[in-house]
Amino acid sequence: MRLVENAKRFAEKTTGWRRPEDPKSLLRDRKPRTLRFKDDGLVPNHPSWPLMIYKSAVRLPAAFDPAAVFEALFQSNGWDDSWRDGIYDYVHYHSRTHEVLGIARGHGKAQFGGPKGCTVTLKAGDVAILPAGTGHQCLKASDDFLVVGAYPSTGAYDECTTFKDRERALVWIPRTARPRKDPVYGKDGPLMRIWRKATRRHG
């Protein structure tokens, strides 16, 4: 799937074919579901900021490639370095960057927060925003499950999976800056308000 999607992405970026000119016109107004997770001894999770999920936030008309819709939307809000794939089937987290996951096709069950976390069903049009340190893995997915991921310019990619990663991760997670914009709703999006409020509460 990755090779095919990479070829499509290259063609779409080069020609503009099946990419929306105004991805924000495809948004639905949605209130986020927020989930907070404690450090479980393996996965630190974030000490202040919650995971946020927007259900059915993005319309995906047949005229556009659904992956291109998410890429264009995230990029317009300063979340880049995007990829097209599934979600890894093992527990991992990022200590130096936040991550957004847009569901372009299909449906799947993901566990957030580590082995003691919460299982969430995600389907096309949904978006999950993970603060640094948030454990995640795919438990089950449809054959056509396709995710677009991206990262804010305020972070640096890493991948943590073991207990040995914790010492470094515990230093970096709280230092990872808040993004400049919500990857879906921009500078005035719920993410900015909720994470800012949580910073004051836990700071």
pLDDT digits (tens, 9 = 90+) for 139-157: 999 999 999 999 999 999 9
How high is the pLDDT of residue 5?
Answer: 77
* Residues of the domain holding 181: 2-202
Nearest Cα to Cα of residue 18 among 76, 58, 63: 63
Nearest-angstrom CA–CA distance, 130 and 100: 6
Q: How far is CA 8 from CA 5, 11, 13, 61, 148, in A?
A: 5, 5, 9, 17, 13
Report yes or no: 101 and 148 within 8 Å, Cβ to Cβ: yes
Domain CATH for 180: 2.60.120.10
List CB contacts of 24: < 8 A, sequence separation 6 or more.
73, 76, 186
Along the 203 residues of the chain, how does pLDDT read in single tens digits?
676 776 777 566 656 678 999 999 999 999 999 999 999 999 999 999 999 999 999 999 999 999 999 999 999 999 999 999 999 999 999 999 999 999 999 999 999 999 999 999 999 999 999 999 999 999 999 999 999 999 999 999 999 999 999 999 999 999 999 999 999 999 999 999 999 998 756 55
* Predicted local confidence at residue 199, as pLDDT: 72
Provide the domain count of the chain: 1
How buried is 136 (Cβ within 10 angstroms: 0-12 exposed, 13-18 middle, 19+ buried)? Answer: buried
Look at the alpha carbons of 14, 18, 24, 27 in this order and tell me if their dihedral is positive or negative: negative
C-alpha span between 59 and 191 (Å, rounded): 20
